[in-house]
Structure 1
């Protein structure tokens, strides 16, 4: 039981028990003296009270010294070692803070650097091979973009595992494209189910008409089965020229994973939507959103090419004080979608995902306040990177977005700081590096993580309903 408590709390309890034990021994000694004397008990009680007060003060003073010079440095040293071990961050070990620990910090630094050097050669080989594959993917992307056929691959559950630039254009006319989304989030189910059922009789390919949601516009397409399960959907994308877009795919999604309740799902198996908003001010009750930015994290990495970035017309002037922070002016939001439209787009982008924000009560509060206007319910699971930082680095560490990113070796370009997409991407990069640190601490499922973050409720309230 005690082994599960934080190190500093266990040390505090140790000194607390030491102070109580000293007081108990003193009380016993004074009682023994009083019982054998014929005097009044008053002087003995006074002596006990004075001793108990001084003894408690001494124990507290020694604890504070021990906490500052031993417990806190151990926590910082542990966090730095986890950064190196699990997130690949070459964090400088807190050797100065840990100087009271003797040779422990230098020895840990030497060991971690020795182990790091042993894997650098392998990392270089992986990097070279990754660059070669990236070049080949770029060539394939360019080739597919020139072909006027939109290509979408579906896994056996009907979820999107690949789409090209042409398909991204088709999907984005309906809603933001995203991996792992059921194709039925974009097109009516009946035609697709009918075509899949008819495939064995159609010689491996069948034409179909896809009807978009919700406006009912139609797209002519062909459906083919994939070896090993799943389907390929080819949509006629003839029309205006389309700007090249990246080929977006994750073939790990082809593998079936058991369906679980969110609480029981491993952290790596969840989809996350790190997002941020810029606003007219800092009041959840009276201010309005003027910009939304979001990225997607799937399989422990940010999905390049899947972003949501939009201005929002607040229907009111933007205060000059707010413009000084984020640089957004009235002219920027003129003609932008209202929160009803922009909020629904974010809601669709975050379907079946965990919302992630830094200081989430503010951003989530704004969305939930305007939920009726959007016509949606913001009942998503929520993670706050402030609380994740507290779980990994302790409550006493600084938990601002800048401090967290600096600790995790995440760079926020100056021109993107205080933009919705820039801060959302920084939050996503921080999340990607926090996940292995959480797993390294034995936190493997979403339910376990929420139980840990709720221990830091004095920092921020938990928003999971």
Structure 2
């Protein structure tokens, strides 16, 4: 019956209920006050009536507010978040209008707009999908071709940042550190000889061959630099001297947007940088228990997000020897056994690797304080300082969907149409991948909300800090 009423009539009834309830409360209070005045004094009766009416009106107001919040305010907030996910996060499933059934024509109108938007987006997506398939096939052919060439290839922009590396180059970089797009090439190669060769390249505009050395001076490479338009260069390393298989199975990793990015942009204050342009290191851990001050990490998984997309091939999937038996109850959740971690590196080695993996990046996790507490506990033994900026997808979810919603990783994935394969749920890499996909979908939603810079996002998430305290 109520579902058929218009929104304006329903709000009018709320106010009528408030007014009539107020009058009834005053009337009842006066009746009881009059009865009390007959038994005692007139002043006593009026005082009793005033106190009773105040309590009744307050109770009525709270009741009406709860009804309004449950049937109007929350459904409007939920409907807005549903529309936002479809407009900015690529979610195309049908909207659930049942929660907004008391909002009159608002829910059907929102569904109609969303349906029209999805139909338009679908036709556009089909065109994009066809072009993407063509580009994917070209990329596969290019990757196969590069795999047959006995050289490692690294494309570096004018500011010395890695823009592209192939399979062989990934193997070379892995010997010197953690392969990462956006990293400075001098993190891997000794700076003085490289900078001298680059200066010669810029002066002559011709290919320059030189002996490149690793930063620890332990390895040397036959390197040739080729000039590129815009001031960057192509670094070619003879992989035949490095004992690397020509068909090394690593994807071609690149982000050509880095060719347009200037170092001055990267050095801008983090608070003022656009949230979508940042580099994120998204991670998750599996542990022996839920107490960071006494339990230990048994698995760490991480992926990197750059310029709003997940970088394939840049990830960590590492078992960790906790140096103690894993409780059966924990193994039942994450499936990591004592036999699996035997002979694996300890947390000190894994933390150092993850620290290098996250250099110049914002660290992201779902309920980040929990995972970071384990890393902070071992920071001194690991010889690293965890001073990275931190972003928590629990708080981002609260910002976008309201604090009253459920903010578990499963709920967030369902809301944003992210699928976690059953076999990967409660594995470090599987949950890190899911968190990264959620993050990628939320970035344009944050931008659409007017939260365009990292500083604006952090300021907004701080308002929901209590949510994490309750969660933990």
Same structural fold, with TM-score higher than 0.5 when normalized by the shorter chain? yes
1:351 aligns with 2:356: no
Residue matched to 1:152:
154
Show the 5 A alignment for 1:87-102.
87-102=89-104
Residue matched to 2:115:
113
1:165 aligns with 2:180: no
Corresponding residue to 1:336 among 320, 344, 350: 344
1:243 aligns with 2:251: no
1:252 aligns with 2:257: yes
- Structure with greater helix percent: 2
1:293 aligns with 2:301: yes
Change (3 A) 1:102 1:266: same
**Aligned-partner Cα distance in 2 for 1:200–1:300:** 32
Change (3 A) 1:91 1:58: farther
Gap runs ≥5 in structure 1? 1-10, 31-38
Count of aligned positions = 437
Residue matched to 2:312:
304
**Aligned-partner Cα distance in 1 for 2:391–2:469:** 11
Q: Deviations over 1:288-325 (max 9, x none)?
A: 11111100011111011111111111122222221111
**What SS does structure 2 have at the residue aligned with 1:415?**
helix
**What SS does structure 2 have at the residue aligned with 1:303?**
strand
**What SS does structure 2 have at the residue aligned with 1:101?**
coil
8 Å CA contact 1:93–1:105 kept in 2: the answer is no
8 Å CA contact 2:92–2:118 kept in 1: the answer is no
Corresponding residue to 1:183 among 185, 188, 192: 185
State the TM-score, normalized to the length of structure 2. Answer: 0.88
**Aligned-partner Cα distance in 2 for 1:95–1:122:** 26
Residue matched to 1:277:
285
Q: Deviations over 1:75-104 (max 9, x none)?
A: 110000001100110243231111111111
**Aligned-partner Cα distance in 1 for 2:409–2:230:** 44
Change (3 A) 1:99 1:172: same
Gap runs ≥5 in structure 2? 1-10, 31-40
Corresponding residue to 1:67 among 66, 69, 72: 69
Residue matched to 1:231:
233
Larger displacement relative to structure 2 (170-179 or 255-264): 255-264
Corresponding residue to 1:410 among 411, 418, 431: 418
Q: Deviations over 1:234-275 (max 9, x none)?
A: 111112425222111110010124231111111111101110
Q: Deviations over 1:148-167 (max 9, x none)?
A: 11100111110000000000
Q: Deviations over 1:306-365 (max 9, x none)?
A: 111111111222222211111111221122112121111100110000111111111101
**Aligned-partner Cα distance in 2 for 1:347–1:377:** 8
Larger displacement relative to structure 2 (192-201 or 272-281): 192-201
Residue matched to 2:37:
none
Corresponding residue to 1:78 among 80, 85, 99: 80
Corresponding residue to 2:381 among 373, 384, 400: 373
Q: Deviations over 1:398-433 (max 9, x none)?
A: 111111111110000011111110010000001111
**What SS does structure 1 have at the residue aligned with 2:121?**
helix
8 Å CA contact 1:263–1:447 kept in 2: the answer is yes
